[in-house]
Amino acid sequence: MNTLLLGGTGLISTGIVTHLLARGAAVTMLNRGQRESTLPSGVRAIVGDRNDAATLARVANETRYDVVIDMICFAPDQAVKTIEAFDKRCAQLIFCSTVCTYGVKVPPGVLVDESFPQEPISDYGRNKLACERLFLDAHRTGKFAATVIRPSCTYGPGNALIDNLEFDPPTWDRMEKGLPVLCAGDGLGLWQATHRDDVGKLFAYSALNTKTYGECYNATRDEVFTWRDYYHQAAEALGTTPRLLFMPADWIVAHDPQRFVGLQEIFRYHGAYTSAKAKHDVPEFKCEIGFVEGVRQTLTDVRRRGKWKSAEGDKRMAEMVRIATALQRSPAVAGQG
């Protein structure tokens, strides 16, 4: 099986490549070569920009790929470029979408499956949905078989570990130092976090699996936990216990809407999905990495890369924690502060 990833050295890409190689696939990746790659040798790298239609056309014409996996398509014009380049030039195109295409409603059975109406609330979700529709149209019109995979929160070595507030938080440093950390609401929002190596399996084993042609799949592990659990398990990985301070999401976002955009658009809402359909059609998709172990790996890698986010100098967070602590002790006094 001859495969091409648009991307390849990113977080989820790394999990995909690992499993493609384990399957014995030949793997080529197209990226700008700007990132450290931890991938084993044997992966062919083409340096180029996916937004350049001529580059895509050259890559599509030089070799026939059985499967193309587009990891870095966020807008319809990018989807159109991929579709035009690989029209009848690959058997299958796998598009990496997101659960943000569903929006924020919760079904009666709580877990969102692939039949749930897609009503995204963010530009990110709306653009990904537009891309999904373009790829599925290309499938219907015979350009190639398309498969859409929708990861939810995916973490692992190579990236920062999110908290309930933001994408690259000082929370893990605060926790390690025994300092209180903020969590939105009562910390009882539902969440899932899936390791990139587990998510990678679904992509790798959907490749040339005809059951997946024309289908969409959630890509999450089964465990659904609250943000309280998330913080407690992360703290366990750090060998500590968290001191959680709960404040309303609106209060947190109002302090810095740009910084806390993740909370505003995503983390304040339930994020609980079922991937039963994926497990049925792609039996190799078994999620085996527990969150405590995954956090250990992720934070060890963050330190190794010198990207540990220190809480020192983060005046905004220190001030928010000061007010939240005062409010817990004496709401009347803090209200005047």
Ligand X SMILES: NC(=O)c1ccc[n+]([C@@H]2O[C@H](COP(=O)([O-])OP(=O)(O)OC[C@H]3O[C@@H](n4cnc5c(N)ncnc54)[C@H](OP(=O)(O)O)[C@@H]3O)[C@@H](O)[C@H]2O)c1
Interaction between residue 85 and ligand X (CB under 6 A): no
Residue for token pair 């005047």: 336
Of 4, 7, 264, 282, which one interacts with ligand X (CB under 6 A)? 7
Using CB under 6 A as the criterion, what x/- string covers residues 261-280 for binding ligand X?
Answer: --------------------
Residue 304 C-alpha from the chain's centroid: 21
Paired tokens of 41: 């040798």
Burial class (CB in 10 A: 0-12, 13-18, 19+), 303: exposed
Interaction between residue 245 and ligand X (CB under 6 A): no
Question: How far is residue 260's CA from residue 252's CA, in Å, rounded to a whole number?
Answer: 7
Looking only at residues 32 through 61 of this chain, which bind ligand X when binding is defined by CB under 6 A? 32-35, 49-51
Interaction between residue 11 and ligand X (CB under 6 A): yes
Q: CB of 48: closest distance to ligand X in angstroms?
A: 6
**Residue-wise over 178-196: b if at least 16 C-beta within 10 A, else e?**
ebbbbbbbebebbbbbbbb
Q: Pick the piece of the chain touching ligand X (CB under 6 A) from 5-13, 61-69, 112-120, 135-143.
A: 5-13
Interaction between residue 13 and ligand X (CB under 6 A): yes
Residue for token pair 């080529």: 28
Interaction between residue 94 and ligand X (CB under 6 A): no
Q: CB of 100: closest distance to ligand X in angstroms?
A: 7
145 touches 153 (CB < 8 A): no
Q: Pick the piece of the chain touching ligand X (CB under 6 A) from 7-15, 105-113, 182-190, 295-303.
A: 7-15
Looking only at residues 114 through 173 of this chain, which bind ligand X when binding is defined by CB under 6 A? 151, 153-154
Cα 62 to Cα 45, 46, 65, 150: the distances in Å are 14, 12, 9, 30
Binding site for ligand X (CB under 6 A): 7-13, 30-35, 49-51, 71-72, 96, 98, 151, 153-154
